[in-house]
Amino acid sequence: MRVWSLALALLLGGCATSPEPVAMPEPLPAPVLCALPVGMTEHQVPPAKPGGEYAQREVAAYVTALHEWGAAGWMRVAESRQWSQNCVDRAAVRDGGGAD
């Protein structure tokens, strides 16, 4: 019994002291390298669907307008990708890395 008491006293003796709290370092700011201009990310309103009684001519006009809207969207995606790649290349050159 005496051995258990001594072991318990030794084990719990370490609980009485606590280390000094370590100060947390300030978080690093998140780098924003190549944010797209606002105009490149604006939402484009899709064409209005024909409603009610409509003729095949109206459906054809809607499908044509939908196709043009989608093609313009893919062009904006390609332009955004190109703009971002150019920005990365400019940053690499500016930082001394050189463009690939």
Count of residues for the chain? 100
Give me 62's structure tokens. 């809607």
Q: What pLDDT digit, counting tens, does each position of 35-88 carry?
A: 888 888 888 999 999 988 999 999 999 999 999 999 999 999 999 999 988 887
Burial of 100 (0-12, 13-18, 19+ CB in 10 A): exposed
Q: How crowded is the C-beta side of 79, counted as CA atoms within 13 Å?
A: 11
| Residue 15 confidence class, pLDDT cut points 50, 70, 90 | low
User: Domain spans of the chain?
Assistant: 54-100
Position 63 scores a pLDDT of 96
Residue 72 neighbours by CB under 8 Å, 6+ apart: 44
If you ran DSSP here, which 8-state letter would residue 4 be given?
H
If you ran DSSP here, which 8-state letter would residue 49 be given?
P
Position 13 scores a pLDDT of 67
- Give the pTM: 0.56
Contact call for residues 39 and 76 (beta carbons, < 8 A): no
